Structure 1
Amino acid sequence: MEIMLYLAIILLATKLLGDLFVRLGQPAVLGKLLAGILIGPAVLGWIHPNEFISIFSEIGVLLLMFMAGLETDLEQLRKNWKSAFAVAVGGIILPFIGGYGAASVFGLSNNQGLFLGLLLCATSVSISVQTLKEMDRLNTKEGTTILGAAVVDDVIVVVLLAVMMSLLGTGHDISLGLLIGKKLLFFVVAIVVGWLAVPWFLKLFAPLRVTEAVISGALIVCFALSYFADLMGVAAIIGAFAAGIAVSQTPFKHDVEDRLEPVAYSIFVPVFFVSIGLNITFEGAANQLLFMGVITVVAVLTKLLGGGLGAKLTGFNGRSSLAIGSGMISRGEVALIIAATGLESGLLQQKYFTSVVIVVILTTLITPPLLKMFFSGEKKRGNQASKENG
């Protein structure tokens, strides 16, 4: 019965703090993230990370990315693939250099510096997706560029991680050809399944004389592609995003969107937001304040400038470029997974692990207000231009 109490506390905290932050002019998601810190081990200690939270949050982030796929304009995504690639590459090169340089300053070994640089290359746009949805900017040119860049970033970082683990002799021998082959296989299967199998499957599944057959069919597609993505070494959220795009190309798009959103946002997505804050603990953090401060600044600026430069070089104006760069800042669950891998392999020292987790969460907290600032500025600039032309 403890689960019921956890859910009651999580839902109450996320809704109240989400509303408070909207009244303060900030995205609701920022309040929901802070709710996790408030009710978690860092402050009140009412809720601690456990298997129930982990499972619910995983479902929550998959549903969040699935709905992002549902709302994505595929034509816009195709048009912006060059920008997405440039943003991803810029958002990998600068963080890698910055992370390695910062590690050298703090006396970390060469291998540990390389690993920290790689960790800062990671991007998780699940929080950016929610913020853009709240601002109704997910389906803009900037929004689709951020989504496309996140897919490219994930593939490159996972391949680099495998290469690093192999070259530094901290893991099993890994065939680079097999690794890249698995990634390519995922995208080929995702495209073929999305184009041919998903419309056929939903068309057959929809007439079943059971309740909510269409929604169930869409969720089957979402979870199956997420599992396959994870199996192929691609982040499960990329599989969920691909599933959303596939379903969006069918006549069932609006039905699935209208019925699934209330379920996701009433229970699963709030647990995901809270789970991020639950990972924060300030135990021993006082001794690492300078390290955390420097790495956080490096993490934010290198993604902002690296991603922004990629956008600028492919035709975006300055404000839009910074908006896109800010959408890539959150490291989220992708970086947490990499950090855990580094701890296990010895490339990330135990004494720095908590600090790195806090840095990852700080990047996630910083992202929503930055997105709002740059996108709001872009909107005002557009409105001013319209008035002048009018």
Structure 2
Amino acid sequence: MGIVLGPSCFGLISNNVPILQSLSSIGVIVLLFLSGMEIDFSLFKPKSKNPTELQQKTNAKASKYSPVRLAIYGYISIIILSFLLGGLTVVTGLFSDIWLASILFMTVSLGVVIAALKERNTLGTAFGQTILLISALGEIVPILGLTIYASIFGTDSKSLWLTLIIFAVAALLLINFRNFFHNLEEVNKSTTQIDIRLAFFIIALLSIIAVSVGSEAVLGAFVGGMVYKLLQPSESTKDKLDSIGYGFFIPIFFIMSGVGLDLKKILADPKALVLIPVILASYLLAKSMLYPIFRLRFNKRNSLAGTALPMATITMVLAILSVANNMKVITSQQSGAFLLAAIITCIVGPLIFNQLFTPDADIYQNIKVHIFGVNIMTVPVAQQLQKSWYDVNIYTDNQKNYEAFNSETNVTFLKSLDSKYLIQ
């Protein structure tokens, strides 16, 4: 839309309108806040040191390559390849900043990944969790990298250690508001909308602090999103924030990004024309080593699908380019080339994923369901579950029920249904 309305086509919108620039700046901050809210912190939880006997049995059957382990291996490979490809762009003379190029190449669009995984109902599987964690790192690491980059190369940068103030304030917010949503259940929110007010208070506070310490507002917003997620807001609150963000502020940011993309100048610049396919290839190649890592646990087709999906990147690219443009460390043609290539990845990545992904047993491993007690209620439930990815076993200690229903489903006769007997 922005490309069509901007100077590339009809020229109806200028990139110099103050109110649109202000709304666009708010849009990128809200976008990073909502991106921070998409981080699934349960993925980072270590295994219990004192697991129950049932958990011990489950862990014994699990693959030694857990989603966390695969994701860490995978993202380390992305970082290494990103720096190699960034160095290659500098050596060839296509781009002069290895640090900025590397940060851009290691980004992943978490929102695009979540949407694709939800569509294929794989979000809760080990496969989906691996991709999700890689994508989460693909937003966390670049935003931290951008902060370091801006602190070192920014014209008004301050000491890098001052950035720790952002995290200190975030920790204080988390402590002070840890029971906020629990107490909110007792408040009539129909007119106060206090949960939404808290969200924008956190956005404003951490963004202002980030700018004050010489960092970028996007870092404060992203950290604010993570804090708000840890406060465990309700689904209705998340929906309202999505409506405000994606319904108003964020579209303005996307439109203004398109307005700033002058295709006529980019296409008239031979160096930019060469840069676009090089950057696109770099976005894709930076994630190429994910394939052998996925192969440690998944089949070939799904490993290729899992490699393709994290290639999609747009959210962090827009945020990083916005900061880079403000720092004046990148030309408009170079910025446009990075953005155009990122847009293409958002088409190519999910398309390849959907073409290659197959719902095999290595993805949807049969979920074991144990039903205790056989009667006219439990048997139909077991029969329905068996039609999906469920391995259902029904247990009874009643001989008559066993004889009556054993022919209809998988019924196991036990001497007793006592818990101590079952654990043994």
- Pair in the same fold by TM > 0.5: yes
Q: Match for 2:348: what amino acid?
A: L
Contact (CA 8 Å) 2:113, 2:309: kept in 1 or not?
no
CA distance change for structure 1 residues 127 and 388 in 2, over 3 Å: closer, same or farther?
closer
* 2:33 maps to which of 66, 71, 86: 66
Q: Match for 1:332: what amino acid?
A: L
Q: Match for 1:145: what amino acid?
A: I
What residue is the counterpart of 2:176 in the other structure?
197
What residue is the counterpart of 1:227 in the other structure?
208
Q: Deviations over 1:23-71 (max 9, x none)?
A: xxxxxxxxxxxx1101111101111122222222232233333334334
* 2:140 maps to which of 145, 151, 154: 151
What residue is the counterpart of 1:240 in the other structure?
221
CA distance change for structure 1 residues 88 and 67 in 2, over 3 Å: closer, same or farther?
same
Contact (CA 8 Å) 1:56, 1:272: kept in 2 or not?
yes
* 2:254 maps to which of 273, 291, 302: 273
The reply on whether 1:341 has 2:327 as its aligned counterpart is yes
User: How far apart in 2 are the matches of 1:125 and 1:57?
Assistant: 24
* 1:332 maps to which of 313, 318, 323: 318
What residue is the counterpart of 1:375 in the other structure?
353
What residue is the counterpart of 1:212 in the other structure?
193
Contact (CA 8 Å) 2:312, 2:349: kept in 1 or not?
yes
Unaligned runs of 5+ in 1: 1-34
User: How far apart in 2 are the matches of 1:342 and 1:334?
Assistant: 12
* 1:302 maps to which of 282, 293, 296: 282
Unaligned runs of 5+ in 2: 47-66, 298-302, 367-388, 390-424
Identical positions, percent: 18
Q: Secondary structure at the match of 1:307?
A: coil
What is the number of equivalent residue pairs in this alignment? 330
The reply on whether 1:44 has 2:23 as its aligned counterpart is no
User: How far apart in 1 are the matches of 2:193 and 2:69?
Assistant: 39
Alpha-carbon shift at residue 92 of structure 1 (Å): 4.5
The reply on whether 1:128 has 2:109 as its aligned counterpart is yes
The reply on whether 1:55 has 2:25 as its aligned counterpart is no
CA distance change for structure 1 residues 94 and 71 in 2, over 3 Å: closer, same or farther?
closer
Q: Deviations over 1:133-178 (max 9, x none)?
A: 5435496421332122321122234424654x49xxxx68x78xx3
The reply on whether 1:293 has 2:259 as its aligned counterpart is no
Q: Secondary structure at the match of 2:240?
A: helix
Q: Secondary structure at the match of 2:192?
A: coil
User: How far apart in 2 are the matches of 1:62 and 1:357?
Assistant: 19
The structure with more radius of gyration: 2
User: How far apart in 2 are the matches of 1:226 and 1:81?
Assistant: 30
What residue is the counterpart of 1:22 in the other structure?
none
User: How far apart in 2 are the matches of 1:193 and 1:263?
Assistant: 23
User: How far apart in 2 are the matches of 1:284 and 1:300?
Assistant: 19
CA distance change for structure 1 residues 364 and 126 in 2, over 3 Å: closer, same or farther?
same
User: How far apart in 1 are the matches of 2:309 and 2:225?
Assistant: 24
The reply on whether 1:76 has 2:62 as its aligned counterpart is no
CA distance change for structure 1 residues 220 and 208 in 2, over 3 Å: closer, same or farther?
farther
CA distance change for structure 1 residues 185 and 76 in 2, over 3 Å: closer, same or farther?
same
Q: Deviations over 1:244-268 (max 9, x none)?
A: 3333333543231132222223221
5 Å-filtered alignment, 1:136-175, equals: 137=118, 140-141=128-129, 142-160=131-149, 162-163=151-152, 165=153
Alpha-carbon shift at residue 362 of structure 1 (Å): 0.6
User: How far apart in 1 are the matches of 2:107 and 2:24?
Assistant: 12
Bigger helix share:
1
Q: Secondary structure at the match of 2:359?
A: helix
Alpha-carbon shift at residue 293 of structure 1 (Å): 3.2
Alpha-carbon shift at residue 119 of structure 1 (Å): 2.4
CA distance change for structure 1 residues 221 and 354 in 2, over 3 Å: closer, same or farther?
closer
What residue is the counterpart of 2:333 in the other structure?
355
CA distance change for structure 1 residues 203 and 152 in 2, over 3 Å: closer, same or farther?
same
Contact (CA 8 Å) 1:120, 1:335: kept in 2 or not?
no
User: How far apart in 2 are the matches of 1:326 and 1:220?
Assistant: 31
CA distance change for structure 1 residues 44 and 246 in 2, over 3 Å: closer, same or farther?
same
What residue is the counterpart of 2:369 in the other structure?
none
Q: Which has the higher contact order (CA 8 A, sep 6+)?
A: 1
Relative to the length of structure 1, the TM-score reads 0.69
Alpha-carbon shift at residue 359 of structure 1 (Å): 0.8
Q: Match for 1:102: what amino acid?
A: T
CA distance change for structure 1 residues 54 and 127 in 2, over 3 Å: closer, same or farther?
farther
CA distance change for structure 1 residues 386 and 249 in 2, over 3 Å: closer, same or farther?
closer
User: How far apart in 1 are the matches of 2:196 and 2:364?
Assistant: 44
Q: Match for 1:46: what amino acid?
A: L
Contact (CA 8 Å) 1:221, 1:243: kept in 2 or not?
yes
Q: Secondary structure at the match of 1:48?
A: coil
Contact (CA 8 Å) 1:229, 1:236: kept in 2 or not?
yes
